[in-house]
Chains A and B, each alone.
Chain A
């Protein structure tokens, strides 16, 4: 079977494919609207720091909490939608369960919004123990509990979806090892260059996300018990470890699930196949472990952490940039080089996403070195680096996929992209670079993160960043207009003949 030249694709009925397409579109439309709203909240935060938005500190920290939780959640669910769309072509996924997760997610979102805007919860999305329970009267125990419960509910939805991933992958490949290409990597089976990259990525996401969310559930339950039974006091350093493990995994998985858009779409646009290889399997196999073991780089300034954990985290943080970047980024550039690609909006966004992911990795790796972390930890450098690869990496992957659905596989390649798309693209890119540069420059100047009010010396940085944020929002607004007007009726491009 491994010598076949075409990978086995699952065949669904016409109605099943239509149903799946509707579900994916619902995820994407929700994602665009939430991204836009969360960006407005984020821009307000920077404007407040630039003395341009008169909001009180309490509202600032509520916005900050919503912006963080909202962006993580929507990036996770939108990344999942990209992965789900392609993964179901290789393994039999259930559209019903995909919808169930979406429903549970929205329920959790409503509870979280209630905890923040009705209950005044402002303990940041990182809910660092014991802060949710000790607010000095700013929010009630009930509000903190609702926030934690909302996260727990969202996690449960993801676990259900991941169980379906597991069932489907096992039914097609027999074991997760085979799905990851391990028998081929270790020479037990002949190499099959048409073993789908999406299945490899999907299996990695399943394993890592499941463990990460399970750890998150444990810590959320511990904290909920503590809220109502203060006798039960978990070790603060242990809780911190669990929170950062969970938080690091969940946001990284958003990247590793959305990245399949590059594997699946660039070959269509360049007319060159993305073949899997031993190097590819090795990279993804390594990343399964690295994504889970690098999180102590969040805890360098917690000096009681064991020394080996810090050294390991620094080495692995650097290492975790290598496999997928040397494979995915490099491979993608090779696909594009002298390919005769037509630059439609989707192709442009995907190319941008590779740049953003790689470039955003540089300040991340710098910060993951203990010597630099000593003067960059919890400064604006941190939001600087993660906005770099989230805003310029993950979002363009999700957007690029959306424009693929919207314009059809080949459709818009024939003509120039519409003006709204071109304007949107350049406003987004220019704004994002300015915005991210503002953050990084702030961090290098020692400006602390998560401060509602800035010292006078720091105000200009916030003002430049606000300008960047506004340009980003203009770009996303233009994209959203296209999405709302064209996407609902767009036909499935998979049914169109390939390039």
Chain B
């Protein structure tokens, strides 16, 4: 996911640089505005329609299925492993530090004092899942670990002077 985001951004930026280079390198020459303005104004309409279609496709493609788990649903302990997580200044408490791979985990996350961010990182330091840990609310994060290993929990919402030392570990064991 992160690398797709990078490629889209890089590609878009390079294309834009191309457009700007084209216009700037064609800027010294003088030509009557009316000689091309009609043509490029009508192209603008097509460009706009293209962007609308692209936006519609992106909306449908990224929102179906909806990427955020239902908060109203009750996740039964038969189908889900449950972990109660609580963020404090400046440490995490978790009801267990071990889960198994392959079966979805329901993290029930709260902020005990201020806002924190519950971020799950794999061994390659890639961010695999996150949710805010906020006071007065329980946020349900559902994640299925595909790979066993030692995962790390970092705080992703600024929560005061020791924000960056708020780390914990989560062991994911292979399913037997």
Residues of A within 8 A of B (CB): 57-58, 61, 122-124, 126, 128, 130-131, 134-136, 138, 235-237, 240, 272, 300-304, 307, 310-311, 314-315, 318-319, 322, 326, 330, 333-334, 336-341, 343, 351, 355, 358-359, 362-363, 366-367, 369-372, 374-379, 381, 440-441, 443-446, 448-453, 455, 457
Contacts and interface: CB of A to CB of B under 8 A. Distances in A.
Contacts of B68: 300, 303, 307, 310, 370
A340 B161 contact: no
A61 B89 CA distance: 15
B51 to A, nearest CB: 6
Interface stretch (B78-86, B94-102, B127-135): B127-135
B37 interface: yes
Contacts of B69: 303
Interface in B38-65: 40-41, 44, 47-48, 51-52, 55, 58-59, 62-63
B121 A446 contact: yes
A238 to B, nearest CB: 10
Interface-centre pick from B13, B17, B62, B162 (highest chain A CB count, 10 A): B13
Contacts of B136: 235-237
Given A338-B26, A444-B3, A303 B71 contact: yes
A296 to B, nearest CB: 12
Contacts of A366: 5, 8-9
Interface string B125-167: 1111111101111011100000000000011111111111100
B74 interface: no
Contact of A131 (B33, B115, B126, B128): B115
B113 interface: yes
A138 B29 CA distance: 62
B1 A371 contact: yes
B40 A334 contact: yes
B52 to A, nearest CB: 8
Contact of B6 (A319, A330, A444): A444
B27 interface: yes
Size bracket of the B interface: 35 or more
Contacts of A301: 117, 130-132
Nearest 5 Cβ contacts at the A-B interface? A340-B30, A446-B127, A338-B31, A451-B164, A362-B12
Given A336-B24, A376-B5, A371 B158 contact: no
A282 to B, nearest CB: 11
Contact of B157 (A58, A128, A440): A128
B29 A304 contact: no
Given A135-B160, A446-B126, 4 more contacts: A235-B136, A307-B66, A311-B63, A452-B163
Interface in B1-36: 1-6, 8-9, 12-13, 16-17, 19-20, 23-24, 26-31, 33, 36
Given A303-B69, A370-B62, A446-B127, A351 B24 contact: yes
Nearest to B154: A448
19 contacts: A61-B161, A130-B135, A136-B90, A136-B160, A301-B130, A301-B131, A304-B71, A304-B137, A314-B62, A355-B17, A359-B17, A362-B9, A363-B5, A363-B9, A370-B67, A372-B4, A444-B6, A448-B164, A449-B158
A244 to B, nearest CB: 12
Contacts of B164: 57, 448, 450-453
Nearest to B119: A448
Residue with the highest number of chain A CB atoms closer than 10 Å, among B2, B13, B161: B161
B170 interface: no
A340 to B, nearest CB: 3
Contacts of A441: 6
A449 to B, nearest CB: 8
A350 to B, nearest CB: 12
A92 B11 CA distance: 46
A403 B172 CA distance: 59
A272 B34 CA distance: 10
A336 B4 CA distance: 33
B38 to A, nearest CB: 11
Given A450-B163, A457-B125, A336 B131 contact: no
Nearest to A299: B132
Nearest to A360: B13
B36 to A, nearest CB: 7
A128 B161 contact: no
B122 to A, nearest CB: 9
B19 A333 contact: yes
Contacts of A359: 12-13, 16-17
Nearest to B136: A236
A374 B6 CA distance: 15
Nearest to A62: B161
B161 to A, nearest CB: 5
A484 B48 CA distance: 43
Contact of B114 (A130, A311, A371, A448): A130
B128 to A, nearest CB: 7
Nearest to B122: A446
- Select the residue from B5, B26, B154, B162 with max chain A CB neighbours within 10 A: B5
A302 B156 contact: no
Contacts of B37: 334
Contacts of A444: 2-3, 5-6
A322 B48 contact: yes
Contacts of B40: 334, 337
Nearest to A307: B66
A48 B125 CA distance: 21
B62 A322 contact: no
A383 B71 CA distance: 29
A370 B5 CA distance: 12
B90 to A, nearest CB: 8
A375 B127 contact: yes
Contacts of A443: 2
A455 B125 contact: yes
Nearest to A341: B27
Contacts of B132: 301-303
Contacts of A363: 5, 9
A126 B157 CA distance: 11
